[in-house]
């Protein structure tokens, strides 16, 4: 278990169930951001899985370890597909909420605070490149 990184710890705990969180994360995302469903309408399930894998990797990486330019590249790349700056927060929060639902009571205050900090920092970096 990764006690020094509560976000990573929460992913490890969620993985213990063996459930794929992709479909639920996207449904939560679309519920928060309905116009994203249209933007993603051309993307098949395989590609959605690959895209979510990149989001998960970003969330699992301590913010200070994110490669320089990685977020700028992704923001620029996704802009060409119609992704707007308003899509990022609901997506990150949808992943968090999916992990929270999977963990139940194990998603404690320490994990919640770590997620809030990670999402906030990522959103600041994203906003710097929109």
Condensed to tens digits (0 to 9), the pLDDT of residues 84-120 reads 778 889 999 999 999 999 999 999 999 999 999 999 9
For the chain, give the mean pLDDT. 88
Average pLDDT over residues 39-59: 86
Condensed to tens digits (0 to 9), the pLDDT of residues 12-21 reads 999 998 889 9
Q: Which pTM was predicted?
A: 0.88
Q: Please, what are the domains in the chain?
A: 6-127 (1.10.490.10)
H-helix segments, 1-130 = 6-15, 22-32, 34-39, 45-60, 70-79, 88-103, 109-127
Structure tokens at 8: 């990573």
């Amino acid at each position: 278990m990764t006690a020094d990184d509560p976000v990573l710890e929460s992913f490890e705990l969620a993985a213990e169930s063996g459930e794929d969180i992709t479909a639920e994360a996207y449904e939560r995302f679309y519920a928060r951001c309905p116009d994203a469903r249209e933007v993603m309408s051309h993307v098949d399930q395989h590609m959605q899985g690959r895209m979510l894998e990149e989001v998960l990797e970003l969330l699992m990486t301590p913010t200070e370890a994110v490669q320089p330019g990685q977020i700028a590249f992704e923001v620029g790349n996704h802009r060409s597909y119609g992704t707007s700056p308003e899509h990022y927060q609901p997506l990150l929060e949808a992943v968090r909420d999916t992990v929270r639902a999977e963990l139940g009571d194990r998603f404690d205050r320490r994990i919640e605070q770590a997620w809030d900090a990670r999402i906030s920092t990522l959103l600041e970096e994203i906003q710097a490149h929109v």
